[in-house]
């Protein structure tokens, strides 16, 4: 969608001298109009009743349509040649001058579920949406709790950043707390090589007094833009509500911008617009302007194709151009807008697909979370179904989420959810029946595990995977001598292909383990609790 303010501010012509052709065209139109006026002077001298009787097919706007169509063609062709433009296009041979640093709060308060399923989950999803919408330039990721760490140095590869961002969770942080002031040091490191000032996106639900003061000093000294995106609700049952007043006041004091959380996509759009605006004034002027005149080629070619005949058929040019151009925009074909969007809402389209048992397509079309989750459930995507069920606070949605957990073999989590439903709604038959089923499955797995232990079988079954909590489990003691820690040097990893493959498999299995070890090492070296040296101040 085109931002009207940006459109008005940035609209211009790349080759404005071509517009001079409109002067002779205007003169030609004026000469033609004056000629017709002079040719019809005698008609005006006739009385009205005689003129209606004597004249047949008196000239109207329909006359000379080919000539009028030619004028329209000339105007469109002139505008195309002038090159209208109102936004820049990213150069494939250059990087965006203004970098972006995402500072993500992963403290314990971000676990709160006032924004379902949790503040941290929604924050990470929104950040990914922002990066996909921005889709250019270098981006860095800084995480903080009791310590702060540069999780991802500046990169343009979102394929690398996405799994790393998904692996971020509070358990991996080596120190408890909420000290955002420590994030300023990795921010400074991430922006050290930038050729111009960048944007810093702080994603959090609150700040301490020390952090407020540190951010004020830092952003009052440097020209980087501070964007504060608050995650959570200000008035909710959460133990730690969103500190909107403090965060917004910090943004005002450093000439930054405060963006509150919204359920829809509007907060992401505001963030992307703010980052783009800052980039425009910090070096993005080197990017070429996009020539939007090519959009007008479609109606122009249509006019030329219909020029094979003279006469009244040219009248249909106007109708076809209006009908074809009414729904056209530069993003129309990119979005592949369906004809059904004119007549049916997205939920109505999804319901039709659902009734036709096209569950995958229905899930992508539905906007209402419950029906979206139900479509994912019938499509077999139980993980997506669970997440969307958790966005609806009803018994039916909770039952759906529990069923999705059961299909993912998360029997323990499903049992807990069924018990929670029965605590709130005693006597629910569906929950009671499914709870008994979960209890039976868990009991069977426990008995099977005990049988394996008693029979001396040491090899564990990997059929159910490592993540799902399927049953209560049994305690099994292993001989410490059987556990061997293999340490390999960098030289050994490079020399042996087998050792390198084994090490990469170990690291790639769970990025959170790798990051936790990395952060712990940085904390031990004192690199995660440093404060930056503000320009013009001496280090303590």
Q: What is the pLDDT of residues 117-158, one digit of tens each?
A: 899 999 999 999 998 888 777 899 999 998 999 998 888 878
Contacts of 293-302 spanning 24+ positions with Cβ under 8 A: 293/79, 293/80, 293/81, 293/82, 293/83, 293/84, 293/85, 294/80, 295/328, 295/330, 296/76, 296/79, 296/80, 297/80, 298/324, 298/325, 298/328, 299/76, 299/324, 299/325, 300/73, 300/76, 300/77, 300/80
Q: What is the average pLDDT across 473-487?
A: 45
Going 426 to 431 to 436 to 442, the CA torsion angle's sign is: negative
3-state helix/strand/coil string of 221-237? HCCCEEEEEECCCCCCC
The winner for highest mean pLDDT among 6-15, 289-298, 352-361, 458-467 is 352-361
Q: What is the pLDDT of residues 238-264, one digit of tens each?
A: 778 888 988 999 999 998 999 988 888
| Cα 89 from Cα 326, distance rounded (Å) | 25
Q: What is the pLDDT of residues 334-373, one digit of tens each?
A: 344 456 666 778 888 888 888 888 999 999 888 888 899 8
Residue 226 bridge partners (DSSP): 200
Element (H, E) at 404: helix 395-407
Q: Is cis: bond before 170, omega within 30 of 0?
A: no
- Tell me which of 459 and 292 has the higher pLDDT: 292
Alpha-carbon distances, residue 464 vs 152, 200, 445, 509 (angstroms):
32, 42, 11, 16
**Given pLDDT bands bounded at 50, 70 and 90, which one contains residue 116?**
confident
């Amino acid at each position: 969608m085109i931002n009207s303010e940006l459109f008005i501010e940035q609209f211009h012509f790349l080759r404005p001298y071509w517009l001079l052709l409109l002067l002779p065209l205007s003169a030609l139109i004026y000469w033609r109009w004056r000629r017709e006026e002079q040719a019809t002077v005698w008609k005006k001298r006739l009385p009205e009743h005689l003129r209606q009787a004597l004249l047949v097919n008196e000239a109207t706007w329909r006359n000379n349509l080919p000539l009028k169509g030619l004028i329209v063609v000339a105007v469109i062709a002139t505008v195309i040649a002038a090159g209208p433009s109102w936004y820049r296009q990213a150069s494939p041979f250059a990087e965006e001058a203004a970098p972006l640093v995402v500072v993500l709060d992963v403290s314990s308060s971000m676990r709160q579920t006032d924004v379902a399923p949790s503040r941290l989950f929604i924050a990470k999803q929104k950040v990914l949406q922002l990066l996909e919408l921005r889709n250019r330039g270098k981006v860095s990721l800084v995480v903080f709790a009791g310590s702060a760490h540069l999780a991802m140095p500046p990169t343009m590869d979102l394929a690398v950043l996405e799994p790393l961002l998904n692996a971020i969770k509070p358990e991996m942080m080596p120190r408890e707390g909420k000290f955002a002031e420590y994030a300023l040091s990795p921010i400074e490191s991430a922006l050290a090589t930038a050729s111009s000032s960048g944007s810093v996106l702080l994603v959090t639900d609150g700040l301490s007094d020390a952090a407020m003061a540190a951010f004020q000093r830092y952003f009052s000294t440097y020209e980087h833009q501070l964007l504060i995106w608050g995650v959570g609700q200000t008035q909710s049952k959460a133990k730690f509500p969103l500190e909107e007043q403090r965060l917004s006041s910090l943004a005002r004091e450093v000439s930054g911008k405060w963006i509150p959380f919204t359920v829809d996509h509007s907060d992401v759009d505001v963030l992307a617009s703010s980052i783009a605006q800052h980039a425009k004034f910090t070096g993005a002027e080197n990017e070429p302007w996009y020539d939007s005149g090519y959009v007008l080629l479609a109606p122009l070619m249509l006019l030329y194709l219909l020029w094979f005949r003279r006469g009244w058929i040219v009248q249909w040019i106007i109708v076809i151009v209006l009908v074809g151009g009414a729904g056209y925009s530069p993003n129309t074909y990119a979005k592949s807008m369906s004809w059904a969007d004119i007549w049916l809402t997205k939920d109505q389209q999804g319901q039709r697909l659902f009734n036709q048992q096209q569950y995958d397509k229905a899930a992508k079309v539905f906007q209402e979370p419950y029906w979206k989750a139900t479509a994912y459930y019938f499509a077999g995507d139980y993980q997506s179904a669970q997440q969307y069920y958790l966005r609806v606070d009803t018994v039916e949605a909770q039952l759906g989420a529990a069923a999705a957990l059961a299909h993912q073999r998360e029997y323990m989590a499903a049992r807990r959810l069924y018990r929670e439903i029965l605590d709130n709604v005693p006597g629910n038959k569906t929950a009671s029946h499914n709870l008994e089923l979960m209890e039976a499955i868990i009991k069977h797995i426990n008995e099977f595990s005990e049988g394996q232990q008693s029979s001396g079988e040491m090899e564990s079954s990997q059929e159910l995977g490592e993540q799902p909590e399927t049953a209560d489990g049994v305690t099994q003691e292993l001989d410490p001598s059987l556990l061997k820690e293999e340490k390999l040097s960098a030289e050994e990893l490079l020399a042996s292909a087998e050792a390198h493959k084994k090490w990469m498999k170990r690291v790639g299995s769970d990025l959170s383990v790798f990051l936790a070890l990395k952060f712990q090492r940085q904390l031990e070296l004192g690199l995660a609790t440093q404060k930056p040296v503000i320009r013009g101040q001496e280090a303590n």
